[in-house]
């Protein structure tokens, strides 16, 4: 997840300016990376205010440690790894209020009249359940999907071998599937109920 | 695993992927950039932290290392010579038999201990603790 591919050179230029004493140049870095960092923090806590606080803390730590970026990895890799560290340690100090996995609500059935609302509520229940996973499984899930299912990028952010991350991810998915055994049916039911009458026979055939 | 069960697990994993991968993007609030930069400016304006006074500390640290190292060497030397004496002890008479003057020191130490005990009891008695 990066703002655009040309940002690497801009990042490098801004970092050099900041290290040369131009604090205002840091604004360019914040402008480019604020959305990814806030979204990443949101996935860690699912609280908008807290997400912004966490992202702000990550930027401040980046500012303090900018000289430690040795250009061996891309700026984004360094920044995401630093942010993940900040979010992890801050949430250990003041944990987000989460339900245990067993208490996470089941996705609402398609009985709800408004299909879009039903779908949204069902998906939100699953996303919130991620936060109820044990930390060693939660973080791989958060970072894997944050990095648009790029295992290598998630592994770099967590500074873990890809194999380890893959194993944890697999265990996390198994836990989630066990918690939401009807997930597939719910999704299919929602798709079916929202499909046009012409598409319904195709969906019916796929289900069988 | 049965083929239907495998298919169900795959579908379920796909459903999970679909849900977790598609998340609406959250936009930072309008004041976010300004608040970060405000904190950055504060940090930039703050005086640099006072560096550790290495110039003053190093002589003290070197002295401490010398004293501790010398002490350790001396301790090892004394222990080795004591061990050597113990191994040679059967060849000589036991040390306690020989030096009569040492008995005087032992008696003095015992006397001092006795005086301390009596004095402490006296003081404790006066203050009503006994």
Lookup: tokens for A182: 């009807």
Q: Where are the domains of chain A?
A: 7-93, 101-207
Q: Which of B40, B39, B32, B42 is nearest to A37 (CA)?
A: B32
**Closest C-alpha among A83, A77, A44 to residue A61:** A83
**Between 3.90.1200.10, 1.10.3720.10, 3.40.50.300, 1.10.1740.10, what CATH number should domain A7-93 receive?**
1.10.1740.10
Residue pointed to by tokens 């480019």: A32
Specify whether the CB–CB gap between A62 and A77 falls below 8 A: no
pTM of the entire structure?
Answer: 0.64
* B23 inside 8 A of chain A by CB: yes
Instruction: For residue B41, list chain A residues with Cβ-Cβ distance below 8 A.
Output: 23
| B23 interaction partners in chain A (CB closer than 8 Å) | 39, 43, 127, 145
Which residues of chain A have a CB within 8 Å of the CB of B14?
A: 184
ipTM of the predicted assembly exceeds 0.85: no
Say if A149 is an interface residue toward chain B (CB within 8 Å): yes
Structure letter (DSSP) for residue B34: H
Q: Please report, in tens digits, the pLDDT of each residue of chain A (208 residues total).
A: 555 556 888 999 999 999 999 999 999 999 999 999 999 999 999 999 999 999 999 999 999 999 888 777 899 999 999 999 999 999 888 777 665 666 655 555 555 556 667 677 778 888 888 988 998 999 999 999 999 999 999 999 999 999 999 999 999 999 988 888 766 655 555 555 555 556 555 645 555 4
Phi, psi of B96 (to 5 degrees): -65, -25
**CA separation, residue A32 to residues A10, A20, A84, A131, B40 (Å):** 9, 20, 18, 27, 16
């Amino acid at each position: 997840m990066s703002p655009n591919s040309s940002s690497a050179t801009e990042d490098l230029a801004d970092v050099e300016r900041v290290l040369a004493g131009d604090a205002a140049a840091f604004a360019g870095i914040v402008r480019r990376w604020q959305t990814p960092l806030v979204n990443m923090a949101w996935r860690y806590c699912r609280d908008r205010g807290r997400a912004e606080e966490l992202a702000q803390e990550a930027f401040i730590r980046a500012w303090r440690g900018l000289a430690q970026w040795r250009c061996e990895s891309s700026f984004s890799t360094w920044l995401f790894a630093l942010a993940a560290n900040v979010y992890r340690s801050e949430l250990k100090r003041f944990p987000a209020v989460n339900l245990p996995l067993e208490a996470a609500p089941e996705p609402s059935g398609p009985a709800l009249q408004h299909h879009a609302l039903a779908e949204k509520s069902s998906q939100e229940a699953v996303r919130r359940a991620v936060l109820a996973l044990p930390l060693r499984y939660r973080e791989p899930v958060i970072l894997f999907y944050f990095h648009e299912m790029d295992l290598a990028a998630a592994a770099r952010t967590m500074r873990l071998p890809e194999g380890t991350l893959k194993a944890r991810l697999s265990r996390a998915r198994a836990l989630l599937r066990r918690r939401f055994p009807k997930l597939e049916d719910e999704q299919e039911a929602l798709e079916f109920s929202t499909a046009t009458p012409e598409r319904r026979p195709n969906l019916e055939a796929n289900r069988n | 695993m049965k083929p239907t069960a495998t298919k169900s697990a795959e579908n379920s994993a796909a459903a999970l992927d679909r849900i977790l991968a598609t998340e609406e993007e959250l936009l930072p609030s309008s004041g976010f950039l300004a608040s970060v930069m405000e904190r950055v400016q504060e940090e930039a304006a703050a005086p640099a932290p006072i560096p550790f006074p290495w110039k003053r500390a190093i002589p003290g640290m070197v002295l401490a290392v010398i004293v501790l190292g010398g002490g350790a060497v001396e301790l090892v030397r004394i222990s080795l010579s004591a061990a050597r004496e113990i191994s040679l002890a059967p060849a000589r008479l036991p040390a306690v038999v020989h030096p009569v003057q040492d008995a005087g020191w032992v008696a003095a130490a015992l006397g001092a201990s006795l005086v301390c005990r009596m004095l402490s009891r006296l003081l404790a008695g006066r203050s009503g603790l006994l």
